[in-house]
Amino acid sequence: MAGGKERSMKTLKEVWRRAENSLCADCGKPDPDWASSTLGVFICLSCSGIHRNIPSISKVKSLKMDHWDDAQVQFLAKHGNAVTKAIYEAHIPIYYYQPTYNDCQVLREQWIRAKYERKEFTEPGKQLPYSDGVKEGILWKRGRDNGQFLPRKFLLSEREGCLKYFTKQDAKEPKINVKIDVINATFQPVKIGNPNGLQITYLKDNKTRNIFVYHESGKEVVDWFNAIRSVQFHYLKVAFPIASDNEIKNRLTRNFLKEGYMEKTGPKQREAFKKRWFTLDHRRLMYFKDPLDAFAKGEVFVGSRENGYSIQKGLPSGTQGNFSWHYGLTIVTPDREYLFTCETETDQLDWIAAFTSVITQAMTPQEYAIEAYFKFKS
């Protein structure tokens, strides 16, 4: 009896140590220490909590604390992450966003449910709710002026290449009509104050406009997110016919590089520093009085090092102006210096790392055009 238990434990550890099982099957987090005895996948603690909410599909156990009988160990040995992924992830659309452990709960939960509960990716050519090229429905949208969330009809059309929303269900003309190639969408549950909160941004007259929405259903809001990515993908396939699928995939929706509060001063660098909410969206650094403002109060273009842009720790000596935070940083551009202060040293270093990741990248032809616009505007 004891010998059989020891053999099972030895086999379990051997299967656990396989390279294919070294990352969580669902979010990619290293060193998973939970597993599904019914699906045969190795998962992290966070994803195990999601699996536990679908008990008809997945039974989860700790690899360290729970007892595994011989039949369960053999099932894990026959499956594992590679075999199970080959079944449940066989036909994922290239545009579908596969979340990581850094992503929010609703994205990870709907990814797991899509795979194992709804089996959306097991068959080729399966009709999916975000692959039709058109999506229409109600999302709760935050009012630009009053801050209230009200139901609004949204319409996404691949044929027209745009996203529209209407203030009334029977309205014939949309409030906005935005081309799909200038749209970005990113989940913002903390900022919006809703676990299903989605921030949609687009460029209007080369300025960023924010729309904040949510839906009561996690599945519905993630379907909207992937429908936007689907329409963008097919639009870009036509616009850039020689680009590879992976090149186009990399141009779909993106998460912001960093967000948070900093203090800033004006161009004369003698004004008092004011606390503002900052968003770094690749080469656009935007600042807002409030994180949920529809429009930025200002934007700064962050170019490349070879074009005269740099990031420096600290403020120039002799900097004037009152500031309450003492961890400074300076963005140097060909035209001027921008001064900021952070509340903590950790914030300061994180911002410097984010700016450095942008500045060290070469600029594309499109980014040169954006830089020229910013210089003309100033």
Query: Is position 297 within any domain?
Result: yes
Specify the pLDDT at position 119. Answer: 96
Structure confidence by residue, pLDDT tens digits, 25-50: 999 999 999 999 999 999 999 999 99
Judgement on whether residues 97 and 165 belong to the same structural domain of the protein: no
- Mean local confidence (pLDDT), 183-212: 93
CA distance 337 to 70: 66
- Mean local confidence (pLDDT), 289-315: 93
Query: Is position 122 within any domain?
Result: no
- Of 117, 143, 176, the residue that ends a domain is 117
Give the domain CATH number at 67: 1.10.220.150
Is a pLDDT exceeding 90 seen at residue 204? Answer: no
Judgement on whether residues 283 and 366 belong to the same structural domain of the protein: yes
Helices 218-239 and 105-112, axial angle in degrees (round to 10): 90
Judgement on whether residues 49 and 92 belong to the same structural domain of the protein: yes
Domain interval for residue 361: 258-376
Query: Is position 123 within any domain?
Result: no
Structure confidence by residue, pLDDT tens digits, 107-145: 999 999 999 999 999 999 888 999 989 999 999 999 988
Query: Is position 371 within any domain?
Result: yes
Q: Strand runs (DSSP E) across 218-273, as ranges?
A: 258-264
- Mean local confidence (pLDDT), 356-374: 86
Paired strand residues for 62: 34
pLDDT level of residue 1 (50, 70, 90 thresholds): very low
List the helix and strand counts (H, then E) for the chain: 10, 17
Q: Which residue has the tokens 């949609």?
A: 200
Specify the pLDDT at position 88. Answer: 97
Task: Find out whether 137 and 124 touch, Cβ atoms under 8 Å.
Answer: no
Query: Is position 20 within any domain?
Result: yes
Structure confidence by residue, pLDDT tens digits, 52-85: 999 999 999 999 998 889 999 899 999 999 999 9
Give the domain CATH number at 277: 2.30.29.30
pLDDT level of residue 276 (50, 70, 90 thresholds): very high
3-state DSSP assignment of residue 7: helix
Is a pLDDT exceeding 50 seen at residue 318? Answer: yes
Judgement on whether residues 224 and 336 belong to the same structural domain of the protein: no
- Of 117, 149, 176, the residue that ends a domain is 117
pLDDT level of residue 5 (50, 70, 90 thresholds): low
Structure confidence by residue, pLDDT tens digits, 135-164: 999 999 999 888 899 999 999 999 999 999
The distance of Cα 55 from the centroid of its chain, to the nearest Å, equals 28
CA distance 340 to 325: 9
Query: Is position 274 within any domain?
Result: yes
Judgement on whether residues 143 and 246 belong to the same structural domain of the protein: yes
Paired strand residues for 34: 43, 62
Task: Find out whether 264 and 287 touch, Cβ atoms under 8 Å.
Answer: yes
Token digits for 329? 């940083």
Question: What percent of the chain is predicted at pLDDT more than 70?
Answer: 97
The tally of domains found in the chain comes to 3
Judgement on whether residues 218 and 308 belong to the same structural domain of the protein: no
